[in-house]
Amino acid sequence: MTMLRFCDKWWMTAGRGAIAAVFGLAVLFLPGLDHRTLAVALGVFAFVDGLMLAALAVVARHSLDQWWLVLVESCVSFAVAAVALVWMAYDAFSLLLLLATWAVVTGVLEVEAGVRLRRLAAGEPSLLVAGGLSLVLGIALVALSEADVAYITASIGWFVLAYGGALGIVALRLRRLAAAERESRR
């Protein structure tokens, strides 16, 4: 029953993916974003992501042994939101480092969660891929630190859009796992 309870919350992961995709698309297709506007967008994205993760931690506390790691990821998102919104007057490089740090920390936590999910769901790799993509984003953003703002903004948009897509895939897999678990209990 533990696996089913967790997988039934697939829509929360889908929501996180959709929010990431919207953020990525907004960054890509809203021309002339300056670092302050990008900071506000990042702050709102991180805050909403933190809310969704906090809700997932609460509903999964009886299904996941280490639900508190989801809560830690939520707190990291809230901290990123606060820093982005309070210090939005800083330069684009500071914003880049904030996003890179968030991506690396989130990536590590999601890779760890992906390892647990693989044990529960017979080798399910999708959360590992999402976490790995987040890690790549963080490392790539640091490598891009010398690029111009337009290139950095486009890179952020594409990577976050891909991350949202990866979370969408995770959600679909969780939905399928929940359906298979329900079917096997009949």
DSSP 147: S
Model confidence at 93: pLDDT above 90? no
R_g (Cα) of the chain, nearest Å: 17
Tell me the per-residue pLDDT of 139-175, one tens digit each, with 9 for 90 and over. 887 787 676 777 777 877 887 898 899 889 888 888 8
Give Cα separations from 63 to 67, 114, 160, 161, 186 (angstroms): 8, 15, 29, 29, 20
More confident residue, 50 or 103: 50
More confident residue, 59 or 148: 59
CB 77 within 8 A of CB 50: yes
CB 106 within 8 A of CB 133: no
Model confidence at 65: pLDDT above 80? no
Q: Which residue has the tokens 């039934």?
A: 8
